[in-house]
Chain A
Amino acid sequence: MRLLVSSMKVDGSADGQDMQPLLKVENLVKRYAKRSLVGAREELLALHGVSFTISPGSTLAVVGESGSGKSTLASCLACLESPTAGNIWFEGKDIVTLGERARQQILPQIQLIFQDPASSLNPRWSVLEILIEPLILRRKFNREEMSQRASSLLERVGLSPDIVERPPTELSGGQRQRLAIARALALEPKLLILDEPLSALDCSVQAQIANLLMELQSSLAMTYLFITHDLAMAAHLADEIAVMNRGRIVEQGPAEQILKQPRNETTRQLLAAVPRMVRALPALEQ
């Protein structure tokens, strides 16, 4: 099944429309060339014509098993990898074909948050250094402004400004993920790509970070692309869910609809694999 939004105009002149999507991905293809020891060329099609849109202020969850292409999608959207074919329209501009200088203007508006905050934060830097690095790279702020911004960022994500001198290794898992979120917010992005942001955390901390993400979304009108294999959390956080399998989106729709009437076999399998707490199944008690 293919879900295309091909009814929308693709020439970038959609500005006049009321609800211009923040991000529109069209037919994205990513192919990796593999060369085995004997020299035979093999190709791995990680993304196989992926298309979707996200409207401003909403959350799209991308779910799928490992190897379905979720993380490749994230790297392509954050321009860490260049797609083999396809377009990525961000506010009407195609960041795939855009010139380098124009692209540098857009990239700060798309930020990525990774699964494991322990490996995405420099252990030798202090919290302050981590937070002001993106600001230094923008060269727009003086020292005073930067430390002010750092403490307001910390406050925003629920961390005490007293920790600025400490290294991230002294923080707990939940605090580190809060710090990673604060760093991503430093440049006031419009789109946050969250690549499994909760799965390395304890259950009680997952709930805290999930709530923080919801708070930030409503106060900053943030747009999220939430990549996960936890369907329950996807249903909780997202407006829409896209299910991926072998590089394709096999089903997409409003979160509730995906859960209640899954139409694709992959979705059904994913739903069946969600470990359920007994309380979620009161019907079995009788």
Chain B
Amino acid sequence: MASVLEIKDLQVCYRSGKGVLCPALAGVSFGLMSGEIMGVLGESGSGKSTLAVSLVQLLPSNGEISRGAVHFEGKDLLCAKPDELQQIRGRRISLIFQEPSLALHPTMRAGEQVRQVLAAHSSPGKSALHQRTQQVFAEVFPEDADRISHSYPHQLSGGQRQRVLIAQAIACGPSVVIADEPTASLDPATQMEILAVFRTLRERLGLAMIFITHNPALLSGFADRVLVLYGGQVVECGPAEAVLRSPRHPYTKALFESIPAVSQERGNGRKIKLPVILGDSSRLSWPRVGCPFEPRCRERMNICTEREPALVNLSDSHAASCFKYES
């Protein structure tokens, strides 16, 4: 299968107040197949949100892409001119953000907000525009599409607002949707509902998705492949089943162990402590030599501080960057 989006050695830095460059992504490469859901897993400071915005060049003014390429439909997006990008962003590749209450205009009806996205990218007649808006609404709201398109954001629940954002994202028929923590502010039942919406859309419209999250549990049964980011680098990548069931990188393993399971037994009523990863990921020191996870790793070796580990293929589709697997 051909990949729709090909990211090669992407490196992004942020300039701090004092003019020092801090890398946020240090050489990330992967390909997104058409119709595939790629789950990107990472904690704060892993560079997952930077990845989302740098693909379509929406970095804040102190961010810069220092190296790499993003190939989409035969073009390198990083070299594209601003008006070319404008044509792609929102139309061929669209973005969904975490907080639906911030992403929607509070005094504009939901239908109008979707109509404006359509109008910005094409100029059909008024009635055609109206018709297309209705179609899009019917797609994400099987029931009640009409009432919701006439509602204001404050009249909608969190899940409904998130669906309006999805409607905006799919309005122009994109081939890639990038969703950055789209369910983080919702309760579990609504989270599952939104995941189901994404899955139906993928089946029906053949969308490819980059689904960014910090919660590995959301990806099981949802994503096709999982990419684990740590400290701006890909530490593990492989089919979702393989990564979630038998993680190989020490970070992925430790992360999964720290999540309590519903069925967890409690030894005669006594509470058991959760295994934790010491320290936290949001404060990584730069410049660094060696593996980004080394300071928190339980399985560290001498070599880990000497140089950076490379991605090692464990099978034809599963790879992890750890010296344990280098021979």
Interface residues in chain A, defined as those with a beta carbon under 8 Å from any beta carbon in chain B: 65-66, 172-175, 202-208, 210-211, 214, 229-233, 235-237, 255-256, 259, 269-271, 273-280
Contacts and interface: CB of A to CB of B under 8 A. Distances in A.
Interface stretch (B21-29, B125-133, B251-259, B305-313): B251-259
B75 interface: no
B6 interface: no
B216 A204 contact: no
Interface in B188-203: 188-192
A172 B188 contact: no
Given A229-B188, A230-B188, A202 B43 contact: yes
A175 B241 CA distance: 33
Contacts of A277: 216-217, 220, 244, 256, 259, 261
Contact of B245 (A204, A256, A270, A279): A279
A34 to B, nearest CB: 13
A280 B280 CA distance: 25
A210 B220 contact: no
Contact of A203 (B186, B188, B255): B255
A232 B259 CA distance: 9
A206 B44 CA distance: 13
A225 to B, nearest CB: 16
Given A211-B274, A232-B259, A276-B217, A204 B192 contact: no
B262 A232 contact: yes
A65 B191 CA distance: 11
Interface residues of B, number: 42
Nearest to B251: A204
Given A202-B280, A203-B214, A276-B220, A232 B260 contact: yes
A214 B221 CA distance: 32
B192 A273 contact: yes
A261 B282 CA distance: 40
Given A206-B259, A214-B271, A275-B188, 9 more contacts: A65-B190, A173-B282, A205-B43, A206-B258, A211-B274, A230-B188, A235-B264, A274-B262, A279-B261
Contacts of A206: 258-259
A232 B261 contact: yes
Contacts of A275: 188, 191-192, 215, 217-218, 220
A270 B189 contact: yes
Contacts of A255: 266
Contacts of B147: none
A66 B244 CA distance: 29
Contact of B258 (A173, A207, A279, A280): A207
Contacts of A259: 262-263
Interface of B: 43-44, 158, 186-192, 214-218, 220-221, 241, 244-245, 254-256, 258-264, 266, 271, 273-278, 280-283
Nearest to A59: B271
A273 B189 contact: yes
B288 to A, nearest CB: 17
Which of B255, B259, B273, B277 gathers the greatest number of chain A CB atoms within 10 Å? Answer: B259
A271 B262 contact: yes
A172 B284 CA distance: 11
Across chains A and B, which 7 residue pairs bring their CB atoms closest together, nearest first? A207-B258, A275-B217, A236-B260, A202-B43, A280-B261, A273-B188, A207-B274
B158 to A, nearest CB: 7
A172 B158 contact: no
Contact of B260 (A173, A202, A235, A256): A235
A198 B271 CA distance: 18
A210 B271 CA distance: 11
A125 B122 CA distance: 51
A270 B261 CA distance: 14
A119 to B, nearest CB: 14
Contacts of B278: 208
A236 B280 contact: no
Given A208-B276, A211-B273, A280-B261, A202 B44 contact: yes
A205 B268 CA distance: 27
A208 B296 CA distance: 13
B272 to A, nearest CB: 8
25 contacts: A65-B189, A66-B158, A66-B186, A173-B280, A202-B281, A207-B258, A207-B275, A208-B276, A208-B278, A210-B274, A211-B274, A214-B273, A230-B188, A232-B264, A235-B262, A236-B260, A237-B271, A256-B266, A273-B192, A274-B262, A275-B217, A276-B261, A279-B244, A280-B261, A280-B262
